[in-house]
Amino acid sequence: MNNLKVFEDGNFSLVEDFEICAKANQVVKEEDMLRIMPAYFSGLARYYFKTINKGQTLEYKASCEVMNKRFSSKPEVAANDLITCRKGSLEQFNAFALRVKELVNAAYPSFTYIDKEILHKVKFIKGLEEYYSKEIVLYKKIETLDEAINKCWELLAAEKLYANGATCSLINQYSDAAAIDTIMDHLD
């Protein structure tokens, strides 16, 4: 099992590769395959495998089915999903960005790192609610996905701050009328 290739982005035959390796190493019982499967995975695949088997252990075939469904996204399917990818109303900006990154990486495995970074940002902005998209596009200094995410958080914070009708006026709304009249006299 020392020569097992661990999961990487773009490995669309994750479980199939594992089964070939396991059989080559004479591991054929499903319970043995299920037991050694996590050692084959790394990163997101290992974490995901552990979460699906937490509390209740799935059978080998059910585990394979879940892993294939999650990681065997063909580029064409991911590209179609990317076209309609929108941020959910309750979805955090970071979670949406991660979803966009996964779809871009699956849809365009042959793109360079720089090309993927650009596409991450563009697809993230396009998938946002109109208010956030417009504000980010108008703000010329945003060059990366992380900067776009941070700008979204800033906009949300400002939106929450002024949502209750907080005043932005330079004059305290609770000042007495005489003070306001004095200021107005100086302006004339």
Residue with the larger pLDDT of the pair 13 and 133: 133
Spell out the alpha helix ranges (H) of 41-176: 43-52, 60-71, 75-83, 93-107, 113-127, 130-138, 145-162
Closest of 104, 159, 167 to residue 132, by C-alpha: 159
Q: Which two tokens stand for residue 43?
A: 């990163």
Give the pLDDT score at 63: 82
For residue 184, how far is the Cα from the chain centroid?
Answer: 53
Q: Which two tokens stand for residue 153?
A: 């958080």
- Tell me the pLDDT band of 11, cut-offs 50, 70 and 90: low
What is the spatial distance between Cα 29 and Cα 25, in angstroms, rounded to a whole number?
12
Distance set, CA 123 to CA 57, 90, 94, 99 (Å): 37, 19, 14, 10
Give the pLDDT score at 75: 83
Give the pLDDT score at 5: 47
Average confidence (pLDDT) over 153-178:
68
Give the pLDDT score at 74: 75
Residue 185, amino acid: D
Give 96-139 pLDDT, tens digit per residue: 999 999 899 888 988 999 999 999 999 999 999 999 999 998 88
- Tell me the pLDDT band of 164, cut-offs 50, 70 and 90: low
**Where exactly are the structural domains of the chain?**
13-72, 75-178
Give the pLDDT score at 154: 92
Average predicted confidence (pLDDT) for the chain: 79
Are the beta carbons of 88 and 26 closer than 8 angstroms? no
Number of H helices, E strands in the chain: 10, 0
- Tell me the pLDDT band of 155, cut-offs 50, 70 and 90: very high
Give 42-65 pLDDT, tens digit per residue: 777 777 777 777 766 778 888 888
Residue with the larger pLDDT of the pair 175 and 94: 94
Fold of 75-178: 1.10.1200
Give the pLDDT score at 160: 86
Whether 81 has a pLDDT exceeding 70, the answer reads: yes
113-117: long-range contacts (C-beta < 8 A, 24 or more apart)?
Answer: 117/144, 117/145
Residue 150, amino acid: N
pTM over 0.85: no
What is the spatial distance between Cα 172 and Cα 50, in angstroms, rounded to a whole number?
57
Whether 140 has a pLDDT exceeding 80, the answer reads: no
Which of the residue ranges 4-18, 66-80, 132-146 would you say has the lowest mean pLDDT?
4-18
